[in-house]
């Protein structure tokens, strides 16, 4: 299948005339068909844990746009829930979790081998998608990276600066390290089961990597990614893995080599020209159109899309956004982006 699946060819290091395209959060609230299915499910977690509906929303953007890849519909916080954390979503505000801030909280968590009953519906969603996706479409599985997931578990919610996690790191390093280690182990098991169910590529989302500096970045962003990638590749030889240490800035340089990732996804705080010079030299890159263009559209969207494709044209590239598409995006702008990328090869 590698011969026909463009995304796998790019991840293997091939430079293609037209880069494969997919979008982070491509199944989501900007699509009316997603909103209808979400209403049918009743609430967000029910949607994640109902395989037929989760598969349906994963397939919707493939039917509408013909993306080169589908990414499993799930959430990075399903892993802490499987480890025993309470998880709920507040309408208009986002996730809430029971917190891990003391040794007793950590001791109450489950082990890495006890997560699968809770996550079994996710694996079933992957199996459905492996059967139903078009033959040319690559299936991507994913998880949150340990640092990013830990920030939610410690604060009990998303925070602007990940302050609670940084404080715990400073005040109780042993507990913080134990939590990162437990999340690293659980993430390996979770992602390995996704591959066994049919995922062809994995992506590790470290959405808050940019708030780590100095040795902390090495210890809590780079090292866990390296450990996760090495273990998954040992279990599943030839498995391609995309790493996304968002807002890593200069630390994007060498990240693929240091961790063993086959591709580094880039946010839009770095220019494509800089990334081509300093990051793409090591292999495939993914990105990095600003999500705001999916809202505003027009000539700026076309010009910036063309700029990115041209900047990365000399090496392996997967076209994507610099972060997830937002709920206020116009579906017509997504079509315009795809038309622009694929039209460039025709002159």
Q: Kindly report, residue by residue over 226-281, the tens digit of the pLDDT.
A: 999 999 999 999 999 999 999 999 999 999 999 999 999 999 999 999 999 999 99
38 catalytic? Reply is yes
328 catalytic? Reply is no
Q: CB of 248 within 8 A of CB of 209?
A: yes
**C-alpha neighbours within 13 Å on the C-beta side of residue 280:** 26
Q: Kindly report, residue by residue over 3-59, the tens digit of the pLDDT.
A: 689 999 999 999 999 999 999 999 999 999 999 999 999 999 999 999 999 999 999
How many residues in the chain?
Answer: 347
pLDDT at 1: 43
- Parent domain of 64: 12-16+18-260
pLDDT at 347: 54
Residue 34, in any domain of the structure: yes
Q: Kindly report, residue by residue over 172-230, the tens digit of the pLDDT.
A: 999 999 999 999 999 999 999 999 999 999 999 999 999 999 999 999 999 999 999 99
| Model confidence pTM above 0.75 | yes
- Look at the chain and report how many structural domains it folds into: 1
Q: Kindly report, residue by residue over 268-312, the tens digit of the pLDDT.
A: 999 999 999 999 999 999 999 999 999 999 999 999 999 999 999
Scored b (16 or more CB within 10 A) or e, 175-212 reads: bbebbbebbbbbbbbbbbbbbebbbbbbbbbbbbbbbb
Confidence of residue 91 (pLDDT cuts 50, 70, 90): confident
Residue 296, in any domain of the structure: no
Residue 323, in any domain of the structure: no
Point out the catalytic residue in the list 25, 182, 227, 246: 25
Residue 285, in any domain of the structure: no
CATH number at 222 reads: 3.20.20.210
The whole-chain average pLDDT of the chain stands at 97
29 catalytic? Reply is yes
Cα 292 to Cα 38, 160, 311, 331, distances in angstroms: 24, 19, 20, 13
Point out the catalytic residue in the list 9, 30, 38, 282: 38
Contacts of 32 (CB under 8 A, 6+ apart): 331
Residue 1, in any domain of the structure: no
Residue 94, in any domain of the structure: yes
Region 309-320: mean pLDDT is 98
161 catalytic? Reply is no
Q: CB of 291 within 8 A of CB of 18?
A: no
pLDDT at 2: 46
Distance CA 340, CA 206 (A): 29
Distance CA 170, CA 218 (A): 16
Residue 346 has pLDDT above 70, yes or no: no
Point out the catalytic residue in the list 29, 35, 118, 167: 29
Q: Kindly report, residue by residue over 112-159, the tens digit of the pLDDT.
A: 999 999 999 999 999 999 999 999 999 999 999 999 999 999 999 999
Point out the catalytic residue in the list 75, 105, 181, 330: 75
Point out the catalytic residue in the list 49, 65, 152, 252: 152
Cα torsion 291, 292, 295, 301: sign? negative
Residue 70, H or E segment: strand 69-71
Residue 201, H or E segment: strand 201-206
Residue 310, in any domain of the structure: no
Residue 278, in any domain of the structure: no
């Amino acid at each position: 299948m590698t011969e026909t699946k463009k995304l796998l060819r790019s991840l293997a290091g091939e430079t293609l005339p037209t880069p494969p395209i997919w979008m982070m959060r491509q199944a989501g609230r900007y699509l009316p068909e997603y909103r209808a299915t979400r209403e049918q499910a009743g609430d967000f977690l029910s949607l994640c844990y109902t395989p037929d509906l989760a598969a349906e929303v994963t397939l919707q953007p493939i039917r509408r746009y013909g993306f080169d890849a589908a990414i499993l519909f799930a959430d990075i916080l399903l892993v802490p829930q499987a480890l025993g954390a309470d998880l709920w979503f507040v309408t208009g505000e986002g996730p809430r979790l029971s917190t891990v801030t003391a040794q007793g909280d950590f001791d109450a968590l489950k082990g890495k081998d006890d997560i699968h009953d809770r996550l079994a519906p996710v694996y079933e969603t992957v199996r459905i998608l492996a059967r139903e996706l078009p033959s040319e479409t690559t299936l991507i599985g994913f998880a949150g990276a340990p640092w990013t997931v830990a920030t939610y578990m410690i604060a009990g919610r998303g925070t602007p600066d990940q302050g609670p996690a940084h404080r715990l790191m400073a005040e109780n390093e042993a507990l913080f390290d134990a939590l990162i280690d437990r999340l690293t182990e659980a993430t390996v098991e979770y992602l390995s089961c996704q591959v066994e169910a049919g995922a062809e590529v994995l992506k590790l989302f470290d959405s808050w990597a940019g708030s780590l500096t100095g040795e902390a970045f090495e210890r809590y962003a780079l090292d866990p990614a390296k450990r996760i990638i090495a273990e998954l590749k040992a279990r599943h030889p030839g498995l391609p893995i995309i790493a996304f240490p968002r807002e890593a800035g200069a630390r994007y340089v060498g990240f693929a080599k240091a961790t063993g990732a086959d591709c580094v996804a880039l946010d839009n705080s770095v220019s494509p020209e800089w990334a081509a010079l300093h990051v793409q030299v090591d292999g495939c890159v993914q990105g990095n159109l600003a999500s705001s263009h999916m809202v505003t559209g027009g000539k700026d969207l076309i010009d910036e899309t063309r700029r990115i494709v041209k900047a990365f044209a000399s090496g392996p590239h997967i076209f994507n956004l610099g972060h997830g598409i937002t709920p206020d995006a116009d579906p017509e702008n997504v079509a315009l982006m795809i038309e622009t990328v694929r039209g460039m090869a025709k002159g």
